[in-house]
Structure 1
Amino acid sequence: MEKYLLSIDQGTTGTKVLLVNRHGRVVAESYQKHTQSYPQSGWVEHNPEEIWEKVLMGVADVMLKGRIEPEQVEAVGLANQGETVLFWDSVSGEPLYPAVVWSCRRSDQIAERWKADGEWAKKVAEKTGLLIDPYFSATKIRWMMEEVPLVREKIRQRQAFCSTLDSWLIWQMTGGASYVTDASTAARTLLFAHRQGNWDEEILRYLEIEEDWLPQIRSTVGSFSRTNPDQFCGIQAPILVNQVDQPAALYGHLCIEPGMSKCTYGTGCFAYMNVGNEPPATNESGLLTTLVWKRGAQQTYALDGAIYAAGSAVEWGKEQLGLYKDIEELQRWSEQWYEQLHKGEAPTNLLFIPALNGIGTPYWNSEARGVFLGLSQHTDRPLMAKAILEGIAHRVADVFVTMEQAVGQKISVLRVDGGLTQNPYLMQFQADLLGVPVEVPQSHETTAMGIAFLLGEECGWWSVKDLEARMKVGRRYEPTLDESVRKKLRARWNKAVHLLLQVSEG
């Protein structure tokens, strides 16, 4: 009886499920989109029960498409959203409030108060590798503790669990048998002492979060218990991998040596540079250091940069501004701009800074908002659309230039994934701004395949050498821009960003 790996990528906008055979080939896949809720400006929520339903639908769909029986699933792995967090009833498993999504800014004021309190900003950076920001789980947890009556009631009754989405999903998959997370996910909460590998008592005490509410922390690869067939489509198999989606994508690109880098172009952009087994001193660079996977006793770290708006900025250009009828129209324009770049035509003088919901790495200003600079009577819809793509590329360049300065080493190639990598102008302009090749892999499902890679290694199906031999590049973009032009573009961009920061602080 042939066996298969079940890889689940539970992401911000939906859940991708892959069924992978012993040769590393995807034999069936499914994507299930879930609802995004925006109850107020800057707020983002998900319904955990809808997400669980979509996970089950995706699993059932790949089993049907692959024509397999539940007992043919050898092992299960999960990629998760990271910082997205919820409170839930520790007895029934019912959510007490919607999951507060990583991009939600509702806890801004809590973060600002915490940052302003003595030496806490410095202390948190040293303990966690992160900065105090609403992006991470801790301030979202504190907000729910203060603002949600049912959460307060269940805390009083000592019947509250609080976790990132992965722990709740694993609890569901195992029929309530396992309440766990992995080190890479714990590292995104702002509650995790990343060198020691445990929940930080001092931070928990300050925020009045009890460790009893939180899941047990495990290695990224290992045993997270077995799925319950009554709850999980008839499948009884070990859950062997749990990991945040961005580190999973880093592994999916096989960026497993220090200096290797990837960027995911999704709702936002997520830039990672592998820095090995010791967290570097990033000082005042505005970069984050995050644990990306733990295998046995060995921890691997990456520098992490977050750009809040990428795909969401492209969507905004279509829905709110009406710059293009659909993504197909933007793609047609992009093919033309790509050809024009190769003929030596310069990028537009119009700048767009995609700070639609604050600006992340390395500036970390939650008050900043997006701006077009250089509008004239000749500005039309295509020019504004082009500026949005260029703004995304500039923000990614901001992050990688800062990383290069922090480690004293220039990246040699950037491996990329995500929906926007299908846009040729964006990818070519990215290569031009960074001055290095940009590689788009043949496989579009880098995150889910990262989970599958780790599962297969754990099951003894393949080695890293086997994976490297199979890795195929779909498209490679070489930098073509003259160095003097590149420097001029970047200098102008830097002036614009600093102007925006001055305005937002004033």
Structure 2
Amino acid sequence: MSPEPTVLEVAGELQMASIDRDAFKNVSDVPVDEEQYVLALDQGTTSARVIVFSSESVPVASHQVELNQHYPHPGWVEHDPMELIRACRECIDKVGDKLDAKRIPRKNVKALGITNQRETTVLWDKRNGQPVYNAIVWSDTRTEGTVVRLEQKPNADKVPKICGLHISTYFAAVKVRWILDNVPKAREVYEEGCLCFGTVDSWILYNFTNGARHITDATNASRSMFMNIQTLEYDAELVDFFDVPKLNLPDVVSSSEIYGYFSDDDAAFPSLPISGCLGDQSSALVGHLGFDKGDAKNTYGTGCFLLYNTGNDPVTSENGLLTTIAFQLKGQKPVYALEGSIAVAGSIIKWFRNNLGLIETSEQMSDLAGQVKDSAGVYFVTAFSGLFAPYWRRDARGTIVGLTAYTTRAHIARAAIEATCFQTRAILESMSRDSGVPFHKLLVDGGMSSSAVAMQIQSDILGMEVVRPGMREPTALGAAIVAGLATGVWNDLDHVRSKLQKRRTITSFTGSLTEKERDEQYRMWGRAVEKACGWVE
């Protein structure tokens, strides 16, 4: 769920110029050999990468490793947990070499921050640190039957009120329940009291500290379904509901504090503090400097994720949204957010390329969509694994309606991009109803945001300004910010703003449709959603 490797496919190539030593002197008041830097590890759905940021948010080096995706059965998506760790370590090692090449001293790197795909679930044996099963990825839908059984249990209606989340294939506790019910080895370790649970952040922190810390930050814990969204503690009712009393849960910590020190056998960054952790969507909000109540951003990654900062008080949605943690600084109250999630966004581009062969490169999707002025009445509901917010229809499946003899692949490509944009409007309207505050602009990032065609379509469908930052890596930057706050690179959020805002550039898109045209297209989109729902019996 983090920004990923190719433009439009999942979430976007690194948008940065190579900065040599002399060029960097021109953008900072501090000499290169005295400047402070932070490593940001972005462990996403299809890749792991590390970006090194200066204290003025300038990315000076990066390295990326793509991950293997495992699809054992239709709807199943898995990762090898050990490969995740190897890829992360390789990125850190290689970026050290790149800093050497730029003559930037490694000792000037003051912290490591982690941002990660959320909900993806890893279970391991605490006696040897070995996984008992592959990681089940957030988008995996094998747990549909588990969801049905859980929904029929007594007190199922209380679960969203406690944790802020709907019972869905999306979240970690449901994946844990499936593994315990279907993987004998995991069940055996569980009964022995030795089974550890973690989302990807926990797994990385456990390995990076040589097993010394079994922890998770509040943003990731809020996606587990085990944590009370009010108290930020594990809730006995939830543990009982999912029937996992023997499961070893990670301690919940803040998003910005020193958790330990990077264990690096090759001493690439000896004794480097690991001091920041955020789930990827929370990290993107922080990277957009969305610190204040009312700030909102949308990340167009593998899926699409819109967060709206609601301040220090959680808002319970009456319109199909999720209540989650935006971030929590050490010793401070958590900052909450409303979230709307779209299961399929950038990944539709990969589907066009790999499954249908209609394009050869991801960039061609934008070119195709730009060849026509509209979709010619074609609507594509990209519900490959059901519909997330605000619909929450797991019985929906991918549906294309309105095809005629006039339809070309360009119309279908445009309709595919429009699908994400229509769902974004549905989420924004729900957020407005829940918060009572209308939106006037949307901050965007991720791979699809690199396409001017896509962002113009988004602005047309919303009828509001869409703002894209020049530095396209807010997810990684968010992890760097919380890590740097814990180690003195920045003093506080105001210091972050003052240092980073002066280097921010933006591109703005303004809608060109009339209100009548917008509303008619959105009405037809609603009809298409009705056709897609109820397909799975």
User: TM-score scaled by structure 1?
Assistant: 0.94
- What is the CA–CA distance in structure 2 between the aligned matches of 1:301 and 1:200, rounded to whole Å? 18
Residues 212, 225 of structure 1: alpha-carbon distance in 2 compared, 3 angstrom cutoff: farther
Larger RCO, structure (CA 8 Å, separation 6 or more): 2
Does residue 473 of structure 1 match 2:498?
no
CA distance in 1, matches of 2:371, 2:82: 44
Give the equivalent residue in structure 2 for 1:491.
523
Which whole-Å CA distance do the structure 1 matches of 2:141 and 2:247 have between them?
Answer: 26
1:97 match: 133
Match of 1:74 among 96, 110, 119: 110
CA contact (8 A) 2:275 2:484 kept: no
Give the Cα–Cα distance (whole angstroms) in 1 for the partners of residues 234 and 112 of structure 2: 26
Confirm or deny that 1:418 pairs with 2:446.
yes
Secondary structure, counterpart of 1:203 in structure 2: helix
Return the match for 2:419 from 376, 382, 391: 391
5+ residue gaps, structure 1: 341-345
The Cα of 1:279 is off from its aligned counterpart by 0.9
Corresponding position of 2:209: 174
In the alignment, structure 1 residue 148 sits paired with structure 2 residue 186: no
1:193-240 Cα offsets, whole Å, 9 max, x none, are 010111111111222213651111101111212222437745312211
Structure 2 distance, partners of 1:26, 1:429, is 29
> Is the Cα–Cα contact under 8 Å of residues 56 and 233 in structure 1 kept in the other structure?
no
Report which stretch shifted further, 411-420 or 206-215: 206-215
Asked if the contact 2:171/2:224 (under 8 Å) is kept, the reply is yes
Q: CA deviation at 1:505?
A: 6.6
AA at the equivalent of 2:388: G
- 2:325 aligns with 291
Indicate yes or no: 2:469 matched with 1:433.
no
What per-residue deviation string (whole Å, max 9, x for no partner) do you get for residues 268-313 of structure 1?
1011111111011313x11111012112231111111111011111
2:375·2:411 contact (CA, 8 Å) conserved in 1?
no
CA distance in 1, matches of 2:267, 2:123: 22
- Map of 1:456 onto structure 2: 484
Q: 1:236 & 1:142 partners in 2: Cα distance?
A: 37
Deviation at 1:33, TM superposition (A): 0.8
Q: CA deviation at 1:439?
A: 1.1
Match for 1:269 among 296, 304, 309? Answer: 304
Aligned pair partner of 2:64 in 31, 44, 51: 31
Matched residue, 1:53: 86
Please tell me whether residue 9 in structure 1 is matched to residue 42 in structure 2: yes
User: 1:182 is matched by which residue type in structure 2?
Assistant: D
Q: Do 2:396 and 2:535's aligned partners in 1 also have CA atoms closer than 8 Å? A: yes
Identity of aligned residues (%): 33
Code of the residue aligned with 2:127 in structure 1: it is V
8 Å CA contact 2:143–2:178 kept in 1: the answer is yes
Deviation string for 1:308-346 (max 9, x for gaps)? 011111211222222223223323234444xx5xxxxx5
Contact 2:302 2:345 in 1 (8 A): yes
- Out of 228, 245, 256, the residue aligned to residue 263 of structure 2 is 228
Mapped to 2, the partners of 1:76 and 1:248 lie a distance apart of 14
- Residue 62 of structure 1 is matched in structure 2 by 95
Alignment of 1:97-496 (within 5 A): 97-120=133-156, 122-210=157-245, 213-230=248-265, 233-283=268-318, 285-295=319-329, 296-337=331-372, 340=373, 346-462=374-490, 463-467=495-499, 469-470=501-502, 472-496=504-528
CA distance in structure 2 between the partners assigned to 1:414 and 1:320 by the alignment: 32
Cα distance in structure 2, aligned partners of 1:354 and 1:221: 37
Alpha-carbon distance, 1:477 to partner = 0.6
Structure 1 match to 2:19? none
Find the aligned partners of 2:364 and 2:253 in 1 and give their Cα distance.
46
Confirm whether residue 87 of structure 1 aligns to residue 123 of structure 2. yes
140-149 or 152-161, which deviates more:
152-161
Aligned AA for 2:261?
A: R
- Stretches of structure 2 that go unaligned for 5 or more consecutive residues are 1-32
Moved more, 462-471 or 72-81: 462-471
Q: Is the 8 A contact 1:138 1:191 kept in 2?
A: yes
Structure 2 equivalent of residue 343 of structure 1: none
Counterpart Cα distance in 1 of 2:487 and 2:347: 38
CA separation of 1:359/1:467 partners in 2, compared to 1, >3 Å: closer, same or farther? farther
Cα contact 1:85–1:137 (8 A) shared by 2: yes
Listed one character per residue, the Cα deviations across residues 430-484 of structure 1 (whole Å, up to 9, x for unaligned) are 1111111111111121100111122233333331331452352342111111111
SS in structure 1 at match of 2:169: coil
Check 1:22–1:468 CA distance in 2 against 1; reply closer, same or farther (3 A cut): closer
Alpha-carbon deviation of 1:117? 2.0
Which amino acid is the alignment partner of residue 64 of structure 1?
A: D
Q: Mean alpha-carbon deviation: is it higher for 222-231 or for 99-108?
A: 222-231
Distance in 1 (CA, whole Å) between partners of 2:269 and 2:144 is 43
Q: Distance in 1 between matches of 2:129 and 2:285?
A: 32
Post-superposition CA distance 1:123-175 (Å, at most 9, x none)? 11110111010100001001111111111121233322111111111111111
- What amino acid is aligned across from residue 114 of structure 2 in structure 1? L
Letter in 1 for 2:418: E
1:504 maps to which residue?
535
**Other structure's SS at 2:271 match:** coil
Partner of 2:51 in structure 1? 18
Give the direction of change, closer, same or farther, for the CA distance of 1:161–1:411 in structure 2 (3 Å limit): same
- Counterpart of 1:192 in 2: which secondary structure? coil
User: Does the CA-based 8 Å contact 1:83-1:135 persist in structure 2?
Assistant: yes
8 Å CA contact 1:286–1:361 kept in 2: the answer is: yes
- CA shift, 1:70, in A, is 5.1
